[in-house]
Amino acid sequence: MSKRIHLFLLPFLSLVIFLSSCGEKDKKAGGAAGGPGGAQANQVKDYPVITIATRSTTLNRDYPATVQGQQNIEIRPKIDGYIERIYVDEGATVRKGQPLFYISAPQYIQGVRTAQANIKIAQADVNAAKMQVEKVRPLVEKDIISKYELEAAQFALQSKQAALAQARATYSNARTNLGYASVTSPVNGVVGAIPYKIGSLISSNTPEPLTTVSNIGNIYAYFSINEKQALEFSKNTKGATVQARLKTIPPVSLILSNGSEFPQKGRVETASGLINTETGSVSVRATFRNPGNIVRSGSSGIVRIPRTVDSAILVPQKATYEIQGKRFVYVVESTGTVRSAEIKVMESSNGQFFVVQEGVRPGEKIVLEGVASLREGAPIKPREVNTDSVYQQGMQKFE
């Protein structure tokens, strides 16, 4: 019986031994063929790293702005009439006192003529009154007539003289009204749109102005800062008054709508004393000289305010990554592994670097590139990169 069992189990034992030997061969073959591949999988990759250091830098903070001319004057008629002549075209540069329009107003011409005639009548009345006084005076002196006759003649002369003065004032007013027929530019500037053409009937109640003349020798860039920024500005600048603090702001730049920088530097001169309750912001104005009238009123741009930070910790933007609104870097540990560190950065930057407020310290090493392929605790082979060269290259790109 025992012999039969042994004979029955013999094929199974042979199968087990065969499979076991095949497995050993496969392991050996895998180890021989895949040995280099396994070593490659476990090979530690090298990453460029830099050492954190402090340095002085200039940060820029940008604010969207609207640009207005120093003066935007609406040209409106003061009299009723038809536009007879237009001396300028839209967009023309004009000087103060230069004619812009001529309004045909015959009623005012007739008013001047009537006033001139009334002056002559009043002058004649004055002359007649003077003759009456001269006629009465000797008779009074000889007691031929009462002195009251002389006083009456003198009063009549004064009345005629007053009428003459009134006639002259009327003539002056008529001349002034007629002068309004010629519309001139009140300032040096650029002519805007001209909605009315020759023959258009206009009056002092016309809803649209004849045109607008913009004095753009200087331009104003209006922008807003929020309440938090206003408090930060008051805290970080010296001066007892707002004007004294504004004077500490360095010259600012104007970035035009095409992305180019306006060649003239400006100054921040005024800030409103009230916070807009609807927007929670403070309106600020920067003034720029505008030689050649390059920038026109109504255009848009960006006011760029520089700020110098001493002993700033600068981290290249490419060395950071963001998760759920938080920014991180990989710090290299002494063990050769990396750990993720959350950093807090200032709002403004120079386009290539972040200024770190919290999260890393000078002397620590961080991974410069390839952070997307790393994970917490991963081993790396640090390859030290010259920190100064990294900053110089970043600044050159920014410039």
Q: Is residue 253 packed enough to be buried (19+ CB in 10 Å), middle (13-18) or exposed (0-12)?
A: buried
* DSSP-assigned states of every residue in 43-99: PPPEEEEEE--EEEEEEEEEEEEEEEEEEEEEE--SS-EEEEEE---TT-EE-TT-E
pLDDT of residue 312: 85
pLDDT of residue 280: 79
pLDDT in tens, 23-40: 444 444 444 444 444 444
pLDDT of residue 91: 87
Q: Which pTM does this prediction carry?
A: 0.62
- Which of residues 393 and 65 earns the better pLDDT score? 65
List of domains in the chain: 46-59+309-398 (2.40.420.20), 62-68+215-308 (2.40.30.170), 77-105+181-208 (2.40.50.100), 106-179 (1.10.287.470)
Q: Would you say residue 52 has pLDDT above 50?
A: yes
Distance, in Å, from the CA atom of 184 to the CA atom of 211, rounded to the nearest integer, reads: 11
pLDDT of residue 33: 41
Confidence of residue 395 (pLDDT cuts 50, 70, 90): low
pLDDT in tens, 350-385: 568 888 989 999 999 999 999 988 999 999 999 998
- Both tokens of residue 207? 């809803």
pLDDT in tens, 144-153: 777 888 888 8
Q: List all residues 6 or more positions away from 377 whose beta carbon is below 8 Å from its beta carbon.
A: 337, 338, 339
The pair phi, psi for residue 43, each rounded to 5°, is -70, 135
